[in-house]
Amino acid sequence: MTEANFLTVDITGIEPEHDAPPAANLISGDPKFTNWSLEERDGLYAGVWQSTPGKWRIAYEEWEFVHQLSGISIITEDGGNAYTIKGGESFVIRPGFKGTWEVVETIRKQYVIKV
């Protein structure tokens, strides 16, 4: 249900987009991405995203709030900590974050990105 100023996180009937990390960023595996976009406006993006196992390099220029619904991923900051995220956990990645994202067990997440 979408109202003028209210959006439910429901992907029923939304045609998913399919993608993968750029070959230059791929470290291991063959991760495949599926994205159900719920909102794209005013520099804000929201939706549901899924990835199969693999590992790739990431570099953030935007804010991202994530609520991981299922699966296991490990996000490692260059020269810093590794964070293991499991279904039911939430986190924020700030602009300037560089490192790797590894999906150990297929993940599904809800996200909000602000550019």
- pLDDT tens-place string over residues 26-84: 999 999 999 999 999 999 999 999 999 999 999 999 999 999 999 999 999 999 999 99
Domain count, the chain: 1
In a domain, 96, yes or no: yes
In a domain, 4, yes or no: no
In a domain, 10, yes or no: no
Q: What is the C-alpha separation between 92 and 111, in angstroms, rounded?
A: 10
Domain that includes residue 114, residue range = 37-115
Element of type H or E holding 33: strand 33-41
- Supply the CATH number for residue 107's domain: 2.60.120.10
Q: What is the C-alpha separation between 77 and 14, in angstroms, rounded?
A: 33
pTM exceeding 0.85: yes
In a domain, 61, yes or no: yes
**CB of 16 within 8 A of CB of 35?**
yes
Q: What is the C-alpha separation between 8 and 1, in angstroms, rounded?
A: 6
**Pairing outcome for strands 44-51 and 98-114:** antiparallel
